[in-house]
Amino acid sequence: MSTWRRRDGRATHGGPTSETIFLIDDDVSVREGLTGLIESVGLPVQTFGSALEFLAAKPVEPEGCLILDVQMPGMNGLDLQRKMNSSGIFLPVIFLTGHGDIPMTVEALKAGAVHFLTKPVREGALMNAIQQALENDRKTRSERAAIRKLRECFDLLAPRERQVMRLVVSGRLNKQIAHELGVSERTIKFHRSQIMRKMCAESLADLVKQAEKLGPLGLGVRNGGEVSQASSSSRSG
């Protein structure tokens, strides 16, 4: 982990400078004051005067965190948080507002906010919140990258191999799978070896964990356990 160093020489720990602190507040003085504070520890800041201005910038897989006011003209902070969640903009949110109440705080935290701070905010409290948000962002980005890698591996499987994998991770034995698919047990063993190789799984336990991370939709299974059309295979071995 890198070290943030303030102008007064005191050090705080935080993320690398490739991460950006996105700041949305309609008050220019707040934006300028917070920008100076955050940049003093070596973190780049990108500011916006409104939620719509932020969305217009079309952030694609941004790294860092978002400091967000609640009461703003046009789209408010809570509406932007909902929009981000539905649009797949994965940025930890720190709310910073002078108009907060308990219901608002509960709503923001339930929707995934890291912190809900009130103005005027203590410098230490804000910097601690930013540190936690950046740590959360690194963790979730790492998890998303791992899932993307699993999906890439799963996409390499032939339709029959995907079908066999779903049955294997459900706990069925080779003999049971062979009977269900109408093929020989030897054929199932061959498919299993191909699955383990393509998924880079060292054991059945690894394969089960991978399936859990992919989830039912990732494995091509609809609600109720039905196999999707794209993932189904013919009855041939």
Considering only residues 231 and 209, tell me which one the structure prediction assigns the higher pLDDT.
209
- Looking at the fold, whether 165 and 199 belong to one and the same domain comes out as yes
Q: What is the mean pLDDT of the chain?
A: 85
Residue 224 lies in a domain: no
For a pLDDT cut of 90, what percent of the chain falls above it?
A: 68
Domain edge (last residue) among 146, 172, 203: 146
- Looking at the fold, whether 126 and 176 belong to one and the same domain comes out as no
pTM exceeding 0.75: no
Across 219-226, average pLDDT: 50
Per residue in 209-218, pLDDT (tens digit) is 999 999 876 6
Task: For the beta carbon of residue 237, count every other beta carbon within 10 angstroms.
Answer: 16
- Looking at the fold, whether 90 and 176 belong to one and the same domain comes out as no
- Looking at the fold, whether 163 and 132 belong to one and the same domain comes out as no
Per residue in 79-119, pLDDT (tens digit) is 999 999 998 888 999 999 887 778 888 889 898 899 999 99
Considering only residues 149 and 225, tell me which one the structure prediction assigns the higher pLDDT.
149
* Helix-then-strand count for the chain, H and E: 9, 7
The pLDDT confidence band at residue 55, using thresholds 50, 70 and 90, is very high
Spacing of C-alpha 83 from chain mean position: 15
Residue 230 lies in a domain: no
Considering only residues 146 and 225, tell me which one the structure prediction assigns the higher pLDDT.
146
User: How many domains, the chain?
Assistant: 2
pLDDT at 78 over 90: yes
Beta-carbon contacts of 137 under 8 Å, excluding residues fewer than 6 positions away, are 15, 19, 63, 64, 65, 90, 91, 92
- Looking at the fold, whether 99 and 191 belong to one and the same domain comes out as no
pLDDT at 200 over 60: yes
Structure tokens given for 216: 């039912």
- Looking at the fold, whether 41 and 108 belong to one and the same domain comes out as yes
Tell me, what DSSP letter sits at residue 44? Answer: -
Considering only residues 30 and 221, tell me which one the structure prediction assigns the higher pLDDT.
30
- Looking at the fold, whether 85 and 8 belong to one and the same domain comes out as yes
Q: Please report where in the chains the tokens 């005067």 appear, as a residue.
A: 49
